[in-house]
Chain A
């Protein structure tokens, strides 16, 4: 204990060089994994630019970002759940899948109403899960797995198991603005920036982080724990629904098969980005970076001529390396 009080950092005089260095050491100490992933992303990027022909083209970058947009949007929502200490929302893929159906079904009312209705349905789905988990204290993993079953089953009953082709024109969601910025990517960026800001700067976000850090202390401090957790689920499910809107528009149909493997991809992004699974640590931006990083590695492999199967293997390896590294870093920190 006495060793902790005598850390020499407090006495270091603030020169410019040390200021720069302390900026880096501070950020590494505050979030070792997130910083490492960002550094790894830069390395992979440079490697790709130098070594893989066809990687560093505008079109490829456009495609890369578009391919991770949906996962990135959902990961922003998932990050809220993880930061709040509730691990993962395992009904996100189901919500996204059913949202493609809701979107396709309501498209005849017009594009904007369809988006609004789909996201609204998503928030209701999130609200119900949030009430059970945040309000009653039920286990978040079990509740969201069960919710996934209910959501998919209800979607199946509603659609009769058929693919639904929307009666309307969603093509503006697939547009590429100024020939360079796909609408999906725009939505991805907007959602991430908005939610990142909310989590870092709003009182709600502060409470999410405090609750994730220590729920007991949060309750003893009189924070509105239940309400905050419930709102977290509402936002997360809304993100999944938004991803469903874009997915439905892209595929031109509503289909429950869309969005399979979605949960794992989203969780991978959150973990690889450096959001800590026990809660309280990491940011929404970290999760977005994680999504882009995984997408970039996959993209490199494909452009480099490797198979989809190998890509899947590598994705799993990255997740395991990331969580192992996090565990090792945490252990070293504990020893210090």
Chain B
């Protein structure tokens, strides 16, 4: 699927054991609700665990961006496991390393630094989304 009308699927890991998972979730909301609402579609990772048909078809037919909390990269691995191709993947941990002053804390409720980190990450991924839609080709995997 190509072109600027392409909807980019966004899948966060939403890991529940660490603040990074909450940052991944929040940044996905920032991206899909605020920054690129018409260009993205949020898909729940749990659906891929289940092998839900509609979710599998989406990741196979649309460019996919995954946002993982840590280097286990569950969202990225599950997209591949489901037959999709990850067009762009990002780990919160890597973004945090570039913004050391934004140490995220809290899992239920993120601290201010965590909220800012989520926003920074969302803005970076928004640029990647724009590029994906401009280039129109979900080939290979880009990293952040």
A and B: real partners?
Answer: no
Residues of A within 8 A of B (CB): none
Residues of B within 8 A of A (CB): none
